[in-house]
Structure 1
Amino acid sequence: MTNTPAPRLALARWDIYCRVIDNFGDIGVCWRLCQDLASRGHSVRLVTDDASALAWMRTPGGQPVEVLVWSASEAAPLPGPAADVVVEAFGCDPPAAHVAAWRQASIPPVWLNLEYLSAEPYVERSHGLPSPQCSGPGEGLSKWFFYPGFTERTGGLLREPDVQQRQQRFDARHWWGQMGVPWHAALRTVSLFCYPQAPLPALLAALPAWSEGAPVLLLCTASVNAMLLEEALQSQGLAQRIQVQRLPWLSQADYDHLLWACDLNLVRGEDSLVRAQWAGRPFLWQLYAQDDGAHGPKLDAFLSLHLAGAEGSAWAPLLRQAMQQWNGLALGSRALALPEGAAWQAHALAWRERLSQQPDLCTQLLAFAQQKAQHGAGGTAPA
């Protein structure tokens, strides 16, 4: 992997705004961005309405980031020097008092709206477009849409400059021991991070064939109901072939370690999907289900990119079907249609290499903000 060096702002102060909706993905993405920016020498503040997940999500010894409570800072501008760049994560609508302060500043900050990750065509069309503020506290300012993505015409994916080097140095056997996991070389290991509606019986039924008869160790993240898994194993007569181990809440670094150490990763939402791709291991992605079914076209768009050039193979249709079944979007047999392991693993590495050719999101974000700052694109303060 290569990361293109990005120009730094002369005054590199960043404020990241994040509202936590109902899961950990929003703040997970924002925290990784904060850490990446801080590691490159920038001063970063995170303004969030719920910082509770950071108690376990933070990596000990990580970069210094100031965390501010949203409700305690709504009525007045943030204390201290004004930011050069503000990032509104996922359209979270920063407090009016803060926006008004940006408008009154002699040099308004560059205002970016970091959007959700998708492979759908609108992302390339919308990435980098301005949204002039014609009314409200930010009247006269411009907000810029910044879309993560999987192609060169998007903002890329979060990827720290040293992630590949850290993975190469990673000792899985030592980490399993630290986590108290009874690992041995004959086991096939699977990590499970999913939403409650995931078809767990279909996954369990598929694992013995996928592992080619080897015993399976299924490692459940703390949000997964391990008791339901155990009951499903008993009902299917698989308790002797699949062992379930519940994990504690993991820091972001240890979650990366889990993905690196496993043979197959089941991930959900946005942050864990990105980390699974950098792990270079086979994965199944469960999207956040939308009431209007929008997650269906979103999955199809991703699979069209992910499987481009491989549709003539024997394994690619199986992976497409498995992803659709895992998301409740296709009727199929009781067991998921998992591809053969070696071909799937080779594709995961090839996909990672393809993504690695693109500049990472933080590098692109820095360059984009620098360009807008040089052209005074934050807006013009009133006379």
Structure 2
Amino acid sequence: MSGFQASNQAKEDDDEPLSLLQINVWSGSKYDILWSSRTFDSFETPEYHNQRFEALIKGIRTIDPDVISLNEAMGRGGCKKYLEKLGLALEDYAVFGSIGVSGVILGPISIPSWRTTEGDAILVKRKYKRTFIGRKRLSGRVFNNHFALNLDDATQVLGIKVEKGNTSYAIYCTHWHAGLLDDSETNLDLNELEGFTKKEMKAGMEAIARSTETRVNEAKLTLDFVTATSGEADVIVLMGDLNTTPGTPELKQVEEGGFTPLTVDGKKDTWSRANPNVLMQAEPERADARGKVGGILYDRFSKREAQLDHIFVKGKVDVVNSPSHVVLTEAAPVVPSDHYGLFAKILLPS
């Protein structure tokens, strides 16, 4: 009798959709080292950061997702402390995280300090059986939480397996390179620029090509990791702040890998100038490294509405009835991040 009841419970679990939240929680950092305190300069005060954290927790409690994909975990004390704080605030979730960006890490030593480490995480409700798949480095030289020789950008992908009823899910969280896009709006901006030399225009085009090549390679490595680790999962989910928009070469590669975006009912802008946390960042990050034309293009890109966060699925999913929605947009009392969240409920075919 108990076995029969368990079978019924599994069917009921399958009938209930698995809910997902993708959110870049925003480090708040300018990524300029303050050597006096061995930390990064910040756009925000500690008080404002704490307000954002509380707003995030409140928002997550309201949305109540089963699985959360989270980027830019840093806080005021670095990646590890931020994730520990998150785990204490959300005790019904298991937290699986890894440092994704750092300087030099040699065991217990971190340079500039542990406070400058940033990472990604997957949170899963404890009521579900879950197994950590692992992590793959996509760029940079952050090899694990205890060893890194990194002086610039670094990206990664994390994976976890979740069992819900009779359905197995392989769920991945990633964060890709932030840079210029090879999309119609950027190319239109490029063609409209005047007063620059051929050399400067060529440098701008090369900056677009370099950023695109970086993300295309990140997409390839991500798909390779998914293929190698997803096994016989019924559903594969790929989420993250991919720092790119629908239709770009890197996202076309993801779709060619068999994934479908949960945006069947239109574009979802998770980056918006209506967000006060975006307005707080007056200048584009590292604009000077992109050259004159690249800096202007990135500044214009940072001021437009864009869907930078994505949820892709592969496998037995009723995609048409599993659309994503933009969430965490309201000030409560502040907006939780500079990115809005992306929320979806995965329905299985009936």
Do they fold alike, i.e. is TM over 0.5?
no
| Higher relative helix content | 1
TM-score, normalisation: structure 1: 0.22
TM-score, normalisation: structure 2: 0.24
| Higher relative strand content | 2
